[in-house]
Structure 1
Amino acid sequence: MINDNQSNQLPLNKIKARVFFLAPSYLNLYKEIVCELEKQNYEIYTVSDIIFRFDPYFKDSRFKKMKYICIKAISRRYWKRMIRHKVEFNKQYDILFCVNGYSIDKILLNHLKKKNPYIKCILYLWDSNNYYNFSRNFHLFDKVITFDRIDSIHFNIEYLPFFLVDKGQNEQTNKYQICFIGSNHDDRYWIVKNIVKQLDEMNISYYIKLFIPERKPSFRSKIRYLCYRLYSSHYIKKIEEWNLIYGKYIPSFVTNHLFSPQQFSHVLNESFCVLDTDRECQSGLTPRLIWALAANKKIITTNVDVVNHPFYSSDRICIIDRNRPQVSYEFINTPINNECNDFMQELLKLRIDNWIETVLRFDVINEAYIY
């Protein structure tokens, strides 16, 4: 449990500021931010940050020149329709708070600035610029913050890891020696599959669920599969991935059920150690890693950049090679040394009330998080 005695709340009837909040709906993580903003007496209007079809700004996107033409028309038509039909888009706001901003467009920014000449525009990124070209919009904002330490250095922008929510002291049962809950991307399936095999061999109890949504194969994907089968000796992994994605092969650790942050928190409290795998293209710390630290758990992670943070210690965090992941039986079964918990003061800066204060602050240079 992370706690201090400070309170940032104003009298109930006093509105601190009016916020236009644009954020992704993924896992409903934005709701924690909305809840805290309301608790701190901000008046907030929330808009979902959607991902347009044919978006060319993903780094692995193909046929980009053609998509640039499409996305410009799609984006502008979308925001013009929202501005025309949503009364809330024409109200007064003090702050535009944008998370990621996949769908952001000059049409929206210019409209809000015209209606609110003194509006402050803030962008917080919880994905890396190596994954999606967020930097194209940096000039539209008064303040840009990222969860990715390397991006913060490269673009000379502020750095702030993901927030954590203090739910109070929960009962720790250690029902499982290690747990993992996450969605499938990059090479995560192969990492998890490899580790599950090792855990079974070492007779280590675990709760591991990899989310893969149900999908029906398109005609083009079926043709691709037939090509894989023709040259099966060269495409063994591709064949397994195809069967996995389209539900033809479902290992015990794979699920079609998407877990909420609350469900993850429940499993976390029942576990001694947490497995964490990041995107290979980013250095930012996952919410899973931050929440595990706050819950006083051991962590096995593929994120090599974690060593550059003040809360890193080798007895609490074990870094593994994503290409050849090896789980240490000794690490999982060695008790945590709770005498060395100075890092909790660093995590206190990431508690959501302090996190929001840092994000929305303009009066001083952000020194709330030092790495």
Structure 2
Amino acid sequence: MQEEEEKVVLLITYDNWGFNQYIADALEKKNYKVKHINFHSFRYKYPSFYHKALNFFTKNFGIANLKHTHYNQIILDQIKDLKSIDTSIFIKADFLSKKTIRAVNEKSRQSVLIISDSINRYPKTKNVLSLFDKVFSFEKKDCEKFGLRFKTNFIYKTIDEIPAKFKFKVFNISSFDNRFPVIKKIAKALYEMKVYSKIMIFTSKENNEPYLEFSKKPISIDENNQLLIESEIMLDVSRNGQEGLSFRVFESLGLKKKLITTNKDIINYDFYNPENIFVIADLDNIMIPQSFFENAYVPVSEQILNKYLIENWVDELVE
């Protein structure tokens, strides 16, 4: 009896937090051979100051981006030895050229694009949508507007039992961006409510506020997971115009933690329970009832959770 040929999955991502490696690991457990090209692990070095200055002007005038050209070439170089690909999966393809995507597609049984952000934030994504067999997005509005398939983020870590004690009541970790004023406002409200929180912001700025912790150095996903375990409740703050659910939501589901969020669309999901999830409706009048902090977490059914577990989540990508 002839042995079945090993199926290859090509995963092309910019995995700055490490979440996409969970996709690769889940597919490998299903006996796929996964080649993960992660651009966050590549560092482009300008040949000279002239090239750096040139790239500043060409990039801003929409002519060319030397970094993106370099990344596209890496893909072309790394797929040379791949004779055939069962499924090519792209996450964040706005900086890829049509030439590169077509070169990958020529070797692939099917090509898949996952958009884990709004197209408004990365509008160049619109230029390549037609090149893929399947396009998934976590934004319902983009799915309706561009005819995409809806797919949430996933649960990558679970626990069996909720710890008896926690180091922090509320935890959040974020980059310094346009969400900062909202995060600061919520952190201050929690501080005034005497809710002990760890709210971390990555930035080179200095901070004198007792309710915020600034860090110049990003932490690893393992360090992040440890802080999650040590915290009882998670804080989730959406970007402006974002309705899709962030990884904070699915971390809270997998780790059986309550969630405070600014994402109002969360009430439309099957796992929503006001006992577990508090939605901040008015940022100018943040009032979280004391009972939310005191009452126990209400377990979500296994049937619902199974839909979002990474080992089941990946099936739709390769079928």
Q: Bin the TM-score by the shorter chain.
A: 0.7 to 0.9
1:311 aligns with 2:302: no
SS of 1:139's partner is: helix
Letter matched to residue 347 of structure 1: L
Alignment match of 2:303 (pick from 345, 348, 367): 345
Question: Which stretches in structure 2 are left out of the alignment for 5+ residues?
Answer: 45-56
Alignment match of 2:184 (pick from 193, 197, 203): 193
The answer (yes or no) to whether the contact 2:39–2:71 under 8 Å persists in 1 is: no
Alpha-carbon distance in 2 for matches of 1:199, 1:183: 20
Alpha-carbon distance in 2 for matches of 1:90, 1:17: 11
Aligned equivalent of 2:25: 35
Letter matched to residue 360 of structure 1: V
1:144-179 CA distances to partner (integer Å, 9 max, x unpaired)?
Answer: 001122222222211111111244426512332211
Aligned equivalent of 1:18: 8
Give the alignment's TM-score, normalised by structure 2: 0.83
1:290-344 CA distances to partner (integer Å, 9 max, x unpaired)?
Answer: 1102222111101111111111122221111474261414244231353x633x4
The answer (yes or no) to whether the contact 1:164–1:291 under 8 Å persists in 2 is: yes
The answer (yes or no) to whether the contact 1:195–1:327 under 8 Å persists in 2 is: no
* 1:43–1:322 Cα change, 3 Å: farther
1:79 aligns with 2:75: no
Alpha-carbon distance in 1 for matches of 2:13, 2:59: 27
**What value does the CA root-mean-square deviation take over the aligned residues?**
2.9
SS of 1:257's partner is: coil
SS of 1:128's partner is: coil
* 1:155–1:314 Cα change, 3 Å: same
* 1:69–1:194 Cα change, 3 Å: same
* 1:17–1:284 Cα change, 3 Å: same
Using the TM superposition, give the Cα deviation of residue 68 of structure 1 relative to its aligned residue in structure 2, in angstroms: 2.5
Alpha-carbon distance in 2 for matches of 1:207, 1:65: 38
Using the TM superposition, give the Cα deviation of residue 276 of structure 1 relative to its aligned residue in structure 2, in angstroms: 0.6
SS of 1:68's partner is: coil
Alignment match of 1:275 (pick from 232, 235, 243): 235
Alignment match of 1:93 (pick from 78, 85, 93): 85
Higher relative CO (Cα under 8 Å, sequence separation at least 6) belongs to 1
1:111 aligns with 2:71: no
Question: Which stretches in structure 1 are left out of the alignment for 5+ residues?
Answer: 1-12, 54-62, 215-246, 362-371
SS of 1:259's partner is: coil
* 1:14–1:263 Cα change, 3 Å: farther
Give the alignment's TM-score, normalised by structure 1: 0.72
Alignment match of 2:260 (pick from 300, 303, 312): 300
Alignment match of 1:183 (pick from 175, 185, 188): 175
Aligned equivalent of 1:263: 223
